[in-house]
Amino acid sequence: MILQGMLYDEKSSYQKGPALAPPLIREALQSGAMNMYSETGVDIEKVIAMDVGDFGITDYWDIEKITREHLNSSKKVITLGGDHSITFPIIKAYQEHYPSLDIIQFDAHADLYDIYEDDPYSHACPFARIMEHNLAVRLVQVGIRTLNTPQVEQARRFNVEIHQMKDIREVKALRFQNPLYISLDMDVFDPAFAPGVSHHEPGGMSTRQVIDWIQQLDANVVGADIVEYNPNRDFQNMTAFLSAKMLKEIAGKMVISA
């Protein structure tokens, strides 16, 4: 399992900042404030040992090339973002090793716009691109609370399975047939838990809820990203520490489900 960071927020529509996130997440992880075990008892020191560092990105498609190289050597990659636009090139790289891939996306937003502010690769569009290119067999979205008509239409078009925030009452133990990729947009959390995001969308998930959904997944998790942490908006590094916690829990899930 390889850990990589993408210093990239060129496709953020509202505020920049996520390009600064990866080193701060690592710093929180290694600050001594927490140990290196997931709640499920996995020692993630080995994951950290495979940290290949952060990549300054100027060409968007370099994200795909870099990820492909890392997948060739490891088969499983966790990426620290960066804004959510990075997920499309990452998943493009995954296709070679995982022609049948399922994706679960935790997000306040569906990110299914066909185009946003004239950019088809905006952080508001990655899952439209992924589905158009047939890079995912099944896309499940959890925590969504911003659906509008264009995105409802897109969700229908691509057969996206959406667990909207307004309908979430309890954790669902979702089962996936194909290898699973987890895409965690930090704005899925209520801003009270994660103030360091560009788009505050109140009414979100608690830390406990997101961890429960991940721990309950019945799937072989083969990759993940943690995106949209914006240090410029953070308070007392709360969101850096939450990102580090989620990195531990997701890495733990990848080890256990393998």
Decide if residue 187 touches Mn ion (CB under 5 A): yes
Decide if residue 225 touches Mn ion (CB under 5 A): no
Decide if residue 245 touches Mn ion (CB under 5 A): no
Interface region with Mn ion, contact rule CB under 5 A, candidates 14-22, 34-42, 111-119, 230-238: 111-119
Q: Which is nearer to Mn ion, 84 or 233 (CB)?
A: 84
Q: Which of 54, 83, 111, 234 binds Mn ion (CB under 5 A)?
A: 111
CA distance between the termini of the chain: 11
Paired strand residues for 37 = 43
Q: Which of 107, 190, 225, 249 binds Mn ion (CB under 5 A)?
A: 107
Decide if residue 129 touches Mn ion (CB under 5 A): no
Q: Which is nearer to Mn ion, 44 or 233 (CB)?
A: 233
* Segment 23-28 long-range contacts (CB within 8 Å, at least 24 positions apart): 23/54, 24/229, 24/231, 24/237, 24/240, 25/80, 25/226, 25/229, 25/240, 25/243, 25/244, 25/247, 26/51, 26/80, 26/244, 27/240, 28/237, 28/240, 28/241, 28/243, 28/244
Q: Which of 1, 21, 108, 221 binds Mn ion (CB under 5 A)?
A: 108
Binding region for Mn ion (CB under 5 A): 84, 107-109, 111, 185, 187
